[in-house]
Copies of this chain bind each other. A is one copy, B any other.
Amino acid sequence: MILSGELSSGEQLSEEALADRCGVSRTPVRDALRRLEAELLVRKNDSQRSLVADWSLGDVADAFELRAMIEGYAARRAAERMDDATLDQLRSCNSAIYEAIKRARPDVQGFLDHNKRFHELILDAADSRRLTSLLGSLIEQPVVWRTAQHYGREAFNRSHSEHEDLLAAFARRDGPWAEAIMAGHIRRAFHAYADAHHGLSAIDRGAA
């Protein structure tokens, strides 16, 4: 929604103000707030007023650790259920990732799109509604995705090559291996995020 970056942490969200801003009534705004609450992007203070949730670095670390475990489980299930057609899709998806990052000036948006699709394909292959639901709420972290803007070449390359390792595990239908690789993949993505985040914080401090 519009609040993916436009609103600052802790800011009050009046239902009526948002409704005016979006040109709709309060009813659909309330619906949207309920969903965002479920995803912890919005929280309520003691008196039931909605606020933009504030995410500390520790909170993000926590979310990534959970994502590592859960998406690792997804990879395990996916490996056990993998069919050749899906495997082909994953391969071409990772090729597209390579195309996006191989040039001197990487196509960051292209990387993000194909990367998202890569992980979604795995999630679909795992074939678990519960997983899909849980991960959905963990993956929607606009802050994190924007951080990819600051990835270095080695971070892009690492991501691509770890996907290749994952494909090898899928090809062997090796669930435990796929789980281990995926969990490590996510945890390293967090480290890249944390580095970039601290870098950003430094920049922000410098600019202020």
Contact = CB atoms under 8 A, between A and B. Distances in A.
Nearest to A76: B65
10 contacts: A27-B27, A31-B34, A38-B133, A40-B133, A59-B129, A62-B128, A66-B130, A66-B131, A134-B134, A134-B137
Interface in A30-52: 30-31, 34-35, 38, 40, 43
A73 interface: yes
A92 B43 CA distance: 33
Interface of A: 27, 30-31, 34-35, 38, 40, 43, 59, 62-63, 65-66, 69-70, 73, 128-131, 133-134, 137-138
A25 to B, nearest CB: 12
Contacts of A134: 66, 134, 137-138
A62 B30 contact: no
Main SS class of interface, A: helix
Given A38-B38, A69-B69, A63 B130 contact: yes
Contacts of A70: 66, 69-70
Contacts of A128: 59, 62
Residue of A27, A62, A130, A137 most packed against chain B (CB within 10 A)? A130
Contact of A73 (B27, B65, B138): B65
A59 B137 contact: no
Contact of A40 (B34, B69, B130): B130
A114 to B, nearest CB: 27
A197 to B, nearest CB: 17
Nearest to A34: B34
Given A27-B27, A40-B133, 17 more contacts: A31-B34, A34-B35, A38-B38, A38-B133, A40-B129, A40-B130, A43-B129, A59-B129, A63-B130, A66-B73, A66-B130, A66-B131, A66-B134, A69-B70, A133-B137, A134-B134, A134-B137
Contacts of A73: 65-66, 69
